[in-house]
Amino acid sequence: MIRQAPTHDNSFIMSLNKILASIALILALLAAFIGTPKRGDRNLDEIASLIETEKDHITPLELAEQIHSGKKIRLIDLRDSVSCIQQHILNSERMSIQQLLNDGIKRNEIVVLYSEGGIHASQAWMLLKMTRYDSVYTLLGGFSGWKEEILYPELKAGVTEVEKKNFERRKTLSLFFGGEPMVISQETSKEKSIRQNQSTHKRNPPVKVKKEEERLRYQC
Amino acid sequence: MNAPFYQFGLFGNDTALLFAVVIGIGFGFFLEQAGFGSSVKLAQQFYLRDLTVFKVMFTAIVTAMLGLFWLSWLGLVDLSLVRVLPTYLVPQLIGGLVFGVGFVMGGYCPGTCCVAAVTGKMDGWIHLAGMFAGIFLFGELLPLIGNWYSSTPMGEITLSQIFNLSHGTMVLLIVLAALAGFYGADKLEGRSRST
């Protein structure tokens, strides 16, 4: 005896297929009328909120830890080429703000911008945020902050246990990024402050002399 | 928090692997339910006798495409954040040819050979072993073919950009092509059954 497959199942599937095909066609016709879905520019309130809640930046320590743990972050150096060549953060790329805006970065990657202090980076951040680059941050304190906190962290004499633990954490990161962590004893801290005073004096001569030098330079 | 969630730190590696396992199980289940654990059924595709593979895959493409378009229109998905694999024209054409030859010869593609293997088919296991041998060989040869492998780059290009059409128009054309393809596939299968 030959068993026949039940026909009502097949007709149900055929009907369902026709219904689904019709739905797909209607959605496609409507899509053709819409064209390309538009992405609106970011609301200024949203940007203000990000700044106020400090979600616009990342600290040097947080950045160092994330890079050290292997997280994929794209670092953009906005300083001039000379500064960049002298010293920069490991694996960073140098870019001008213009290059950054002209599709220098992708929208679906995490980007951290830094400049010397942070002003240029903040300006670039604002421009990118206005055009809906979502995962962009600035480095708090810029490269100067990076040098102080990560490349050349210092452990001064007479600090608390918590600060000592904190320094150990920074020391590992500093060595990873090619820095020079320093432990300063009470004697050396005195010596260092003297050296600092002397070097400060050399860098910034008394105002009267500096103005005279400037006057002569401009005359040339 | 925007997608892609893993990249933007919403969850870490462990959760990402868990999602991968769940998605993988779902994918394997639906492949098996569609009958793709059978090399005979899969190979029939190339003889134009059973075009289930074509219909299932094109249905998946149309579903995902319509879903992405309308979710983007609703503002729930930002299409500029969706990763598009970069195109390297010649290497990918050659790779597709190698893939196609393997598919016809073995009767499986990489996903379906896993389905066949875990449902107890010996040819699925052999195909799986062949796949890993091929992956190993490719890895060893990559330093030699590296330059060729990344030749003829076209960037992260889409059909809309190639044909200079809006996303919506492209969606309509692909849906029309799919429906025409499904109709044609039914006709071919009907003719093959009657002979």
**Chain B residue with Cα closest to A40:** B75
Last residue of a domain, one of A104, A126, A148: A148
| For residues B74-86, average pLDDT | 81
Residues A94 and A141 in one domain: yes
- For residue A103, pLDDT over 80 is answered with no
Distance in Å, alpha carbon of B97 to nearest chain A alpha carbon: 31
- For residue A176, pLDDT over 80 is answered with yes
- For residue A211, pLDDT over 80 is answered with no
| For residues B64-76, average pLDDT | 89
The per-residue pLDDT for A210 is: 37
- Report the C-alpha gap between B51 and B73 in whole angstroms: 33
Distance in Å, alpha carbon of B185 to nearest chain A alpha carbon: 14
Distance in Å, alpha carbon of B145 to nearest chain A alpha carbon: 26
Q: pLDDT for A135-168, tens place per residue?
A: 899 999 999 999 999 999 888 877 888 888 888 8
- Report the C-alpha gap between B42 and B34 in whole angstroms: 11
CATH number at residue A107: 3.40.250.10
Query: Could you report the predicted ipTM of this complex, rounded to two decimals?
Result: 0.80
- Structural contact between residues A184 and A158, judged by C-beta atoms closer than 8 angstroms: no
The helix-helix angle for B122-149 and B110-118 (nearest 10°) equals: 160
Binary contact (B2, A39; C-beta < 8 A): no
**Chain A residue with Cα closest to B72:** A37
**Chain A residue with Cα closest to B81:** A108
Residues A52 and A138 in one domain: yes
Angle at CA of residue A132, ends A130 and A135, nearest 5°? 115
Select from A35, A108, A132 the Cβ nearest to the Cβ of B166. Answer: A35
The length of chain B in residues reads 195
- Report the C-alpha gap between A131 and A101 in whole angstroms: 9
Residue of A22, A25, A27 to mutate when probing chain B, most B C-beta within 10 A: A27
Residues A95 and A185 in one domain: no
Residues A165 and A133 in one domain: no
Task: State the residue for tokens 């206005």.
Answer: A130
Residues A113 and A194 in one domain: no
Residues A136 and A160 in one domain: no
The per-residue pLDDT for A212 is: 40
Residues A121 and A156 in one domain: no
**Is this model's pTM higher than 0.80 or not?**
no
Which is higher by pLDDT, B170 or A211?
Answer: B170
Residue of A133, A134, A136 to mutate when probing chain B, most B C-beta within 10 A: A134
* Residue A177 lies in domain: 152-204
Angle at CA of residue B63, ends B162 and B21, nearest 5°? 105
DSSP state of B153: E
Tokens of B134: 């091929």
Question: B interface toward A at CB cutoff 8 Å?
Answer: 2, 4, 7-9, 62, 66, 69-70, 72-73, 78-83, 160, 166-169, 171-172, 174-176, 178-179, 182
Residues A119 and A169 in one domain: no
Select from B166, B175, B176 the Cβ nearest to the Cβ of A36. Answer: B166
Spans of all domains in chain B: 1-33, 38-194
**Chain B residue with Cα closest to A30:** B168
- Structural contact between residues B84 and B156, judged by C-beta atoms closer than 8 angstroms: yes
- Report the C-alpha gap between B195 and B187 in whole angstroms: 13
Residues A141 and A180 in one domain: no
Cα separation values, A128 from A47, A109, A178, A186, Å: 11, 13, 31, 47
- Structural contact between residues A139 and A146, judged by C-beta atoms closer than 8 angstroms: yes
Distance in Å, alpha carbon of A197 to nearest chain B alpha carbon: 45
Residues A119 and A199 in one domain: no
- Report the C-alpha gap between B186 and B55 in whole angstroms: 10
- Provide the pLDDT confidence category of residue A30 given band limits of 50, 70 and 90: very high
- Structural contact between residues B64 and B70, judged by C-beta atoms closer than 8 angstroms: no
Which is higher by pLDDT, B193 or B119?
Answer: B119
Last residue of a domain, one of A112, A129, A148: A148
- Structural contact between residues B70 and A32, judged by C-beta atoms closer than 8 angstroms: no
Tell which residue, A52, A185, A42, A27, has the closest CA to residue B167. A27
A55 located within any domain: yes
- For residue B75, pLDDT over 90 is answered with no
Query: Cβ neighbours of residue A49 under 8 Å, at least 6 residues apart?
Result: none
Overall number of domains in chain A: 2
- For residue B85, pLDDT over 60 is answered with yes
| For residues A186-193, average pLDDT | 51
Strands A182-183, B87-88: pairing is: unpaired
Q: Which amino acid is residue B114, in one-letter code? A: C
Select from A31, A108, A135 the Cβ nearest to the Cβ of B171. Answer: A31
Tokens of A62: 């947080």
Distance in Å, alpha carbon of B128 to nearest chain A alpha carbon: 32
